[in-house]
Structures are given as C-alpha cells and as structure tokens.
C-alpha cells in the first residue's frame, strides 16, 4: 500500500510523542535522591515534550477532520508554544464540541492536572533553565526550583493518595536504619529542597519518593489513556472526512496505536518499572 507524505509525518510525530512519554515515565520511576536526582530533570523534560506533542496531535487531527484532511498551517499550533494547560483546555473544548467525554473526569484539583500544570511551568524557560537562570541572573526566575516543587507534589501524594501501609512502610524503613546504625553512620545526601538529612530520614524520604512516583505515574498514565481515546475518535472522524474521489492513499494512521502502552490498570502500573 502507498501512503501519503502526511501519513508518514503523523506517524513520525506519534512515535516521537510515544518515546518521550515512555522515557519520561521510566525516568520518573527510577529517580530518587543522591546520584539519581538528575533523573527527575530527565523525566520533566521528556514528559513535558511528550504531552505537548500529544496535545498538538489532538489539535491537528481535529482540524483535519473538519477540513477534508487538509493539515492546519503552522500558526494553528505554534501560537500555543509550550503551554500545556492551554493545550489541554483546547483539547477539552474539542471534546465538548464533538461529544467525547474522555477528559471530563480530569478536574482542576485532580492529581493528573496538578502534575500537568507542574510540567507546564517546567516547559517555560524559567523552569527548564532554572539552575542556569539563577546562576546567570536571568530575568526568568519566577518558577520555584523544579525539584523542590516536585518534592512538594510528592508530599501531597503521600498525604492524599498513598495507602496507610505505604506511609507506614516509609516510616519503618527509617526506624530500622536508625536502630541498626544508631550514631555510627552519617548522611551527606540532601532532600529535594537541599536540606541535609540524617540517615534515618534519608531512608524514609527515599521510600516516600518511590511511593509517590508510582502514584504520579498512574495519574499520568490515566491521562495518556484518556487522550488515546480522544485521538481514536478524531482519527475515526478524519477517515470519514476523506473527500470523495481521492485515490485511496491513506493520510492518517491509526494514531491510537502509538499510545497502547497506557493501559490504566492501577495494580499493573504501580508494579511497572520500565515503559513501554
């Protein structure tokens, strides 16, 4: 079968979005304190790009479905820049117009939207270049340190979403280390806010961040899963919009295939360490 240039471009964009999201989820699952702290930045970079490209695919597919498969001009998507929340709001508006309910469950105070807003802030130059901007005195210094902010999100997750057994396990890890080492060990590792911790607190905090990452990843996977449903609906509309008399050369791939990794089974997601 022969495919159009548009088909190949959409396919490549789908692969890009998939890779960024999977790399970001894997990095977030592995990130922690000490020499693993840098993985938080990797996760934030990949996830912010992955969601931006996925949401822009929603805009493009909607436009194509309304315009006999003609792609939009660059201004249609360029004007959004890296503003993830604005892109998400536009995706919700598209869903409302088309009667698609997949995004209705994501309310402003929900954990997936809180994380998306954090990634929105990170995507701004004041977030991505936070460390360099502070070093150089750049004007973009409005955003709090991204790692510090993530530590606050982790605290919220442990308070509102972690199970009692997960909170107890984190405390127990610190207690066991304290009993085993007493004053015979010291820690040089700092928390997310650069505050140095004792050995017991270090093990408690590392366990908290691990549990928080699992819940955060599940929240993000539910969002990707919902966006997959939106994209599937838009692809169906785009296929139906193919003008009469076309040669039959496909213009739109089955874009949901790029997001099949995001199945929101909580037990499965909470165990998974590598994506896809």
CA dihedral over 232, 235, 240, 246, signed as positive or negative: negative
Mean pLDDT of 165-171: 97
Mean pLDDT of 111-132: 93
| In the predicted structure, residue 245 carries a pLDDT above the cut 60 | no
Between CA 28 and CA 122 the distance in angstroms is: 15
Helix (H) or strand (E) holding 111: helix 111-123
Mean pLDDT of 4-20: 97
H helices within 31-162, ranges in order? 38-66, 74-78, 84-98, 111-123, 125-128, 130-136, 146-160
pLDDT of the residue at 185: 82
pLDDT of the residue at 246: 65
Mean pLDDT of 116-141: 89
Nearest-Å Rg of the Cα atoms of the chain is 21
Question: Could you tell me what percent of the chain has a pLDDT over 70?
Answer: 98
pLDDT of the residue at 8: 97
Nearest to 111 by CA among 223, 187, 262: 223
pLDDT of the residue at 144: 79
Nearest to 84 by CA among 47, 110, 111: 47
Mean pLDDT of 111-123: 97
Between CA 119 and CA 133 the distance in angstroms is: 18
Q: Which conformational region is residue 40 in: left (phi greater than 0), alpha (psi within -120 to 50 degrees), or beta?
A: alpha
At a CB cut-off of 8 Å and minimum separation 6, what does 173 contact? 203, 204, 206, 207
Query: Residue 226: how many CA atoms within 13 Å on its side-chain side?
Result: 21
Question: Could you tell me what percent of the chain has a pLDDT over 90?
Answer: 83
pLDDT of the residue at 142: 65
pTM of the model: 0.95
Q: Which two tokens stand for residue 79?
A: 């004007």
CA 225, chain centre distance (Å): 12
Q: Which conformational region is residue 138 in: left (phi greater than 0), alpha (psi within -120 to 50 degrees), or beta?
A: beta
| In the predicted structure, residue 224 carries a pLDDT above the cut 90 | yes
Mean pLDDT of 148-156: 97
| In the predicted structure, residue 86 carries a pLDDT above the cut 80 | yes
pLDDT of the residue at 141: 72
First to last CA, the chain: 28
| In the predicted structure, residue 159 carries a pLDDT above the cut 60 | yes
| In the predicted structure, residue 212 carries a pLDDT above the cut 80 | yes
pLDDT of the residue at 242: 83
Q: Which two tokens stand for residue 42?
A: 């990797």
Between CA 161 and CA 153 the distance in angstroms is: 11
At a CB cut-off of 8 Å and minimum separation 6, what does 232 contact? 255, 256
Residue 145: how many CB atoms within 10 A of its CB?
15
The answer to whether 133 touches 141, Cβ cutoff 8 Å, is yes
| In the predicted structure, residue 247 carries a pLDDT above the cut 70 | no
């Amino acid at each position: 079968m022969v495919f159009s240039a548009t088909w190949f471009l959409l396919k490549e964009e789908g692969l890009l979005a998939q890779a960024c999201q999977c790399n970001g989820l894997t990095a977030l699952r592995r990130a922690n304190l000490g020499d693993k702290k840098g993985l938080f930045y990797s996760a934030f970079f990949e996830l912010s790009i992955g969601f931006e490209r996925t949401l822009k695919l929603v805009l493009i597919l909607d436009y194509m479905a309304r315009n006999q498969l003609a792609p939009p001009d660059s201004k249609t998507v360029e004007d959004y820049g890296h503003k993830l929340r604005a892109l998400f709001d536009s995706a919700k508006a598209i869903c409302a117009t088309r009667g698609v309910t997949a995004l209705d469950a994501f309310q402003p105070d929900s954990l997936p939207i809180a994380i998306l807003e954090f990634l929105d802030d990170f995507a701004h130059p004041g977030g991505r270049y936070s460390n360099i901007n502070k070093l150089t005195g750049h004007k973009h210094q409005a955003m709090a340190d991204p790692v510090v902010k993530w530590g606050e999100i982790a605290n919220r997750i442990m308070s509102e979403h972690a199970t009692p057994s997960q909170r107890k396990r984190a405390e127990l890890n610190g207690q066991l280390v304290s009993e085993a080492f007493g004053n015979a060990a010291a820690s040089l590792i700092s928390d997310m806010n650069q505050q140095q911790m004792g050995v017991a607190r270090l093990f408690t905090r590392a366990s908290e961040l691990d549990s928080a990452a699992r819940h955060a990843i599940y929240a993000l996977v539910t969002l990707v899963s919902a966006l997959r449903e939106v994209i599937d609906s838009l692809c169906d509309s785009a296929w139906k919009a193919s003008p009469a008399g076309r040669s039959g050369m496909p213009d739109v791939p089955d874009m949901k295939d790029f997001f099949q990794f995001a199945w929101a089974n909580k037990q499965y997601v909470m165990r998974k360490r590598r994506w896809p």
